[in-house]
Amino acid sequence: MTTQAPTAIQIRDAWDAVADGFDRHVTPYTLEIGEHIVSRLDLRPGLRLLDVGAGSGALSIPAARAGADVLAIDIAPTMVERLEARAEADGLTTLRANVGDGTSLDLDSDSFDVAMSLNAVSLFPDLTGGLIEMVRVTREGGQVVVATFGPIPKVEFVGFFLGALRTVAPSQLPPPDEALPPFRLSEPETFRRALEGVGLKETTVDVVNWETTFESVDHFLDVIMPSNPIAGQLTAHLTAEQWDQVRQVLDGMLRERSGGQAGAVLRSQVNIGRGTV
């Protein structure tokens, strides 16, 4: 299934459409992995940090809590509004958020100590261009940190969702051997080579495991549907009957995992890549 790469306007509109649900249902989870990533860095007051594709603050919020001077960039205006609201509620005065395109940053070169991205640059149609921009705006000796999901079989909430869709409506899905955008850096060695390919040195890719508790099939869908516009695209043509079948399959999968309970704990592999400019 070959599709034309979306335009920047289409990407903006797609993420804007899910921003409310993303902030409400997804960010409370991604803040956990964001805090873990930030804890691995030597952040301190005055350190200049850029968060590319910031969403509503999974990396920016914990980085600002650590004292860094944070600029968060996201292409979706509603995401930026939600991030600003979170920062204001948290009393974070060192966090600024702007609307911007991560593949063409309106920022000076060598202006940040750290550039970071969590499940964002890895989604860009121009992945290499996004990485190059992160390198460009980071000073010599600074760090570029990119986190993304591991392979689908090791990201269980995605595997459950796609498995249910494949059971009910296999024609809605791309072929199994066609990589979805969020998983282009799922293999650590491929990830490391991508970092080296944009000139980063001392590159590493660490693998961590992240557990997510879903209380029910309704909760599962509340989280996964706004987590990425792809979810809506894959389900756009489901009939009401097919949706009911998807829910039944998911409910059965969750109950099988939890020994009959309505909810379950699902595990995800997250790859954290780092390199020095």
Show pLDDT as tens, one digit a residue, over the chain (277 residues). Answer: 445 788 999 999 999 999 999 999 999 999 999 999 999 998 999 999 999 999 999 999 999 999 999 999 999 999 999 999 999 999 999 999 999 999 999 999 999 999 999 999 999 999 999 999 999 999 999 999 999 999 999 999 999 999 999 999 988 777 665 667 788 899 999 999 999 999 999 999 999 999 999 999 999 999 999 999 999 999 999 999 999 999 999 999 999 999 999 999 999 999 999 999 9
**Is the CB of residue 123 less than 8 Å from the CB of residue 146?**
no
pLDDT of residue 178: 63
pLDDT of residue 3: 57
pLDDT of residue 174: 72
Considering the domain 8-276, what is its CATH architecture? 3-Layer(aba) Sandwich (3.40)
Using DSSP's 3-state secondary structure scheme, residue 207 falls into strand
Q: Give me the pLDDT at residue 172, please.
A: 77
Q: Helices marked H in 137-185 — which ranges? A: 156-168
CA distance 33 to 168: 32
Position 79 scores a pLDDT of 97
Domain-wise residue ranges, the chain: 8-276
DSSP type of residue 4: P
| Distance (Å) of CA 232 to CA 21, 65, 83, 252, 273 | 12, 33, 23, 22, 28
Query: Which tokens is 148 given?
Result: 């993304």
CB 148, CB 210: distance < 8 Å: no
